[in-house]
Structure 1
C-alpha cells in the first residue's frame, strides 16, 4: 500500500438543529443554513467516505480496507475488527439544542441492532457565550424516578449541565444521558455506530410538522442512572508532543500543539492514525508526500507508515488511533 496522508470528501448532514458554522468557521462547501454534521471519516453502511486526493482518489474507505486491510488498519486492529473501520470522525455544529439521548453498550447494541455500541468523546472547538452541554444526572436516580420525570415533562430538572469553552473535552460512556447545547461547535470521535436512543426532544417539530421518534422503552435498560463525575477530561498542552486526552478500548486520542517541525515516530503503533486539525493549519507528510490541512480538515495515515512529519507555525491537532 502507498502510505500518504489520505483526505476524504466530507459527508454533510442536514439536521433540524444544525447551523452555519461548518461553512462559516470550518470552510465546508455548504449551500444551506441547517447543516449539523460533517462526517470526516466513516465506514457506516450508506455513508462510506471516499478518498479526495492522491493515488487512491475516488476509492471508498471500504475498498481500501478490503484491498489493503492490515497495511491500512494495522494487524492488531484488523484482527479485532475484521474489515470494519472501528471509529467514526465528525465535526458537529449545534445552532439549537440537540435531543437528549444516550447510546447502548456493545452487548445491547449487538443484541438489538447487530451493531457496535457508541462510546464517544467531544472536543469543544468554539462555543457561544453561555453555551452548555448536558452530561449525566445531577443526582442518583432510579428507573422509576427517571420515568416519572419523563412522564411529567420535567426530565431537565434532574440532568447535569456543564458550561463549556474552547478546549474543553468530554468522554461519554455508553449509557450516559447527554446532549450538545445550542451554540457549540465540536469535534467528535466515536465508535462506528449510528445507534442512538432519543429520550427527549423539547417537543420540537420538523418542517413537516412532525415530532421525531423517541426511544423511551429501549432506553430504560440502557441508561446509567448513577450520578458520576467521570466525563470531564483533563490533559496537558505541552508543545510538540502527544498529550494524552483519552485512552479507552475503542480509541486513543492525543492533543498536539505543533509549532515548527516535529518528526513523529509511529512505527510501533500497529494502527492507522488520524489527524483532525482543530485550530490553525499544518503540513502533514509521510511516504514522501505532503498534504496541507487547515482547521476543520482531517487526514488518515495508514498503519504501514513509520514516521509522520508535522510542520506548522501554529496548529492544534487531535491525533487518534486504536491502542
Structure 2
C-alpha cells in the first residue's frame, strides 16, 4: 500500500505580457518579470509540477501518474495513456488578456496530442470597476463576427460583465472570453494549453512582435448559439457547507466556507483538488496534518479516505465527475 497524503506541488510560473506581481500576495516565489500564470498542479508538456512535500517530494505529477495511476487518481480521474485530467492555475491579470476562444475535444484542427479546453474561473480579487469579456451579444453569427474582426470592431460583438471577488464563471469550450485588468483568478480547466486568439488590442508580445491571431480557427470553434456558459454570485453560503459553482463533463467545482472542524472524505472514484481561496487553517488526515493558507493548492489522492479541514477559510473543491 502506497503511503498516501495530500500532495503540494512547486508552481510553474509563466511570464505573460498581461501579467504582474500580484501572486506574491500569496507568499509565492516569483521569478523576475511580468508573471501572469502560476501553474499550481500541472501535467502538461508546457509545464509539469513536482511534489514538494512528504515522501514523494521531487516526483513530477507525470511520474506520480505513471507510478500510482488509478490508485491515486481514482477510477474516473485516471485515463489510460492520458495525462492528469485537470490543470489548476492562479492568474494575475495586471492588464487585459487577449480576446480568445477554446475548441472542444473533437475539433479537427487541434494540435496533435492536445485536448479541447473547458474551464471555470473563481475571482479571488478584483479592483473597483474590474470586468471581463464573457460571450457574444445576442444575434451575433459567424458572418457578423468575421466582418467585425476584419474591420477591427470585434469589441462591438462582445458582452462585458463587471466582476467582484467571489464571482464564479463557467466557460465551456466555444465561449469567447477574456479576463481584463485588475483581477486575480483561480482557474480550474481541462488539461490543455490550446487557445485561439480572436483579437489582441494590436499590442506587441514579450518579444516586441505582434502576437499571432487565429481568426479562422476562432470562427470555426465559436458556439454562436451559446455553449452553456453560466455565472453566479457565491456569497450567502453558511459555514461547513458546499455550494456547487461549476459543473462540466470534466470537473465539478464547489465552494465551501470552513468555520469549524469539518470531517470530509475522498472516494475511490476521484482525487480531490483543494484550492485555498482565502484565510488560513489546517488540513489533517490519518497520519498527519499541516497548516494551509490562501493561494495553496493540494491534490488529495482518491485513496486518502478521511480528512478534516479546520480554521477560517474559503476553499474550492474539485473532482472529476
2:148 aligned partner? 149
* C-alpha displacement of 1:292: 1.8
1:223 aligned partner? 222
Alpha-carbon distance in 2 for matches of 1:255, 1:132: 22
Alpha-carbon distance in 1 for matches of 2:316, 2:190: 16
Question: Do the aligned residues in 2 keep the contact of 1:109 with 1:115 (CA within 8 Å)?
Answer: no
2:20 aligned partner? 19
Deviations along 1:226-278, one digit per CA (max 9) or x if unpaired, are 367842135562211222112211001110100121111333x5110010001
Alpha-carbon distance in 1 for matches of 2:217, 2:80: 26
Give 1:128-139 correspondences, 5 Å limit: 128-139=127-138
Assess, with a 3 A threshold, how the Cα gap between structure 1 residues 207 and 306 changes in structure 2: closer, same or farther.
closer
2:263 aligned partner? 263
Assess, with a 3 A threshold, how the Cα gap between structure 1 residues 322 and 207 changes in structure 2: closer, same or farther.
closer
2:3 aligned partner? 2
* C-alpha displacement of 1:291: 2.1
2:317 aligned partner? 319
Alpha-carbon distance in 2 for matches of 1:304, 1:110: 38
Classify the secondary structure of the residue corresponding to 2:185. strand
Question: Do the aligned residues in 2 keep the contact of 1:87 with 1:190 (CA within 8 Å)?
Answer: yes
Assess, with a 3 A threshold, how the Cα gap between structure 1 residues 95 and 111 changes in structure 2: closer, same or farther.
closer
Alpha-carbon distance in 2 for matches of 1:112, 1:83: 16
1:103 aligned partner? 102
Which residues of structure 2 form unaligned runs of 5+?
none
Classify the secondary structure of the residue corresponding to 2:145. helix
Assess, with a 3 A threshold, how the Cα gap between structure 1 residues 186 and 111 changes in structure 2: closer, same or farther.
closer
* C-alpha displacement of 1:208: 3.7
* C-alpha displacement of 1:134: 0.3
Give 1:58-73 correspondences, 5 Å limit: 58-73=58-73
1:54 aligned partner? 54
Structure 2 length-normalised TM: 0.95
Deviations along 1:266-312, one digit per CA (max 9) or x if unpaired, are 33x51100100010012112231112221111011100011111111
Question: Do the aligned residues in 2 keep the contact of 1:128 with 1:184 (CA within 8 Å)?
Answer: yes
Assess, with a 3 A threshold, how the Cα gap between structure 1 residues 170 and 109 changes in structure 2: closer, same or farther.
farther
Question: Do the aligned residues in 2 keep the contact of 1:101 with 1:200 (CA within 8 Å)?
Answer: yes
1:278 aligned partner? 277
Aligned residues: 319
* C-alpha displacement of 1:81: 5.2
Which residues of structure 1 form unaligned runs of 5+?
none
Question: Do the aligned residues in 2 keep the contact of 1:43 with 1:84 (CA within 8 Å)?
Answer: yes
Alpha-carbon distance in 2 for matches of 1:226, 1:162: 19
Deviations along 1:103-154, one digit per CA (max 9) or x if unpaired, are 0001016855332110000000000111100010122212111111111110
Classify the secondary structure of the residue corresponding to 1:176. coil
Question: Do the aligned residues in 2 keep the contact of 1:109 with 1:195 (CA within 8 Å)?
Answer: no
Question: Do the aligned residues in 2 keep the contact of 1:36 with 1:93 (CA within 8 Å)?
Answer: yes
Structure 1 length-normalised TM: 0.94
* C-alpha displacement of 1:47: 1.2
Alpha-carbon distance in 2 for matches of 1:131, 1:47: 29
Classify the secondary structure of the residue corresponding to 1:63. helix
Question: Do the aligned residues in 1 keep the contact of 2:239 with 2:260 (CA within 8 Å)?
Answer: no
Superposition misfits of 4+ residues, deviation over 4 angstroms: 80-83, 109-112
Instruction: Quote the RMSD (CA, aligned, Å).
Output: 1.7
Alpha-carbon distance in 2 for matches of 1:121, 1:83: 21
Question: Do the aligned residues in 2 keep the contact of 1:109 with 1:117 (CA within 8 Å)?
Answer: no
